[in-house]
Chain A
């Protein structure tokens, strides 16, 4: 099977650049797997896990959590732009759990609507992050 070029970039750094056989991205309309020779596509991603497989057998698979992302498939390859991205194995479950608890507490304590909104945004993000590890 032939490979194609995959890049995953966040504003802070380039997280992945290299050849891969397939990549699974969580688009807003559901997960999809992109193989070599995919027609040009531009998709908004929902928070979730991107899986990049260097071979079809699953060897060298990389799982990365992304939030606020886009996938751009063009003849040159696949580019994933993400506002926030972190390899799944680097997520610290204990830390995230404690942050979730803190956020839940903050949410109960929040008085104004704005405050509640802010905390709930954070909470949603943390829960997405947590869900990425559970799977």
Chain B
């Protein structure tokens, strides 16, 4: 039976924890709003580039002559996995669910006898994956110093990918991140970015537009495709940032509620034992008086 002082201490410590989780929840809510705005601001560009690419690629077709970023290298041996997670924990199942998806993917690829390389973005994912796939991780990128996620950050990674691709270091690149649906729902997603997955061509004008190209079709496609890789990375990172804050918000909300419940339970126990002690003392006094 814990003493009354123990109980009081316990309640005080849970209350302190609750204050922290409450504060974290509010900070996450504020950051979420900003992350969501950034993700929304990036959407028009990604949509337009998708549309332009779809139009262009439809003109060229998947046959020969298509650039390798669309057509692939013709091989399917070396897979590069880019796993984007958060820099910090305390956000529910956010990091582990992305890592789990990546892990399943790695295992199925290894089962098929493919070669696997992993690039991790964010510390948490690296920590989780390192335990199992230490040898496959070729690079770990940390975004800890990055305050606001600008396109440059994504562009650097994108350029690095293109370079490695052109050097023949991998055949297929897949990006793992968490798609932001709502505060309570983030969906871990695997998206193939090299060779590019092109959206269906949308016919928005009604009539087939005969495009003029300046300088020419191939050159445009050649400079547009690498950019598209960076754009996809950028979009994934933004989605991830919003998802992280959303996940943290709901995790901290849960934690705050649990702490509240625990405080209630502990207070009840505290009051009961306090009453029991008073009753015991009374009985002792009364029986003492009777004995005289």
Q: Which residues of A contact B (CB under 8 A)?
A: 7, 9-14, 27-29, 39-44, 68, 70, 72, 74-76, 79, 81, 83-84
Contact = CB atoms under 8 A, between A and B. Distances in A.
B211 A40 contact: yes
Given A44-B220, A75-B209, A9 B44 contact: yes
A44 B204 contact: no
Interface residues of B, number: 32
B214 A28 contact: yes
A53 to B, nearest CB: 21
Contacts of A9: 44-45, 48
Q: Across chains A and B, which 6 residue pairs bring their CB atoms closest together, nearest first?
A: A40-B209, A43-B214, A11-B151, A13-B41, A75-B205, A9-B45
Nearest to B235: A11
A93 B224 CA distance: 30
A83 B219 CA distance: 17
Contacts of B48: 7, 9, 72, 79, 81
Tell me if B's interface is mostly helix, strand, loop or mixed. helix
B223 interface: yes
A42 B44 contact: no
Most buried by B among A42, A68, A74: A42
B111 interface: no
Contact of B45 (A10, A27, A41, A72): A10
A132 B151 CA distance: 22
A44 B223 CA distance: 9
Interface string B42-67: 10111011001000100000000000
A41 B214 contact: yes
Contacts of A84: 151
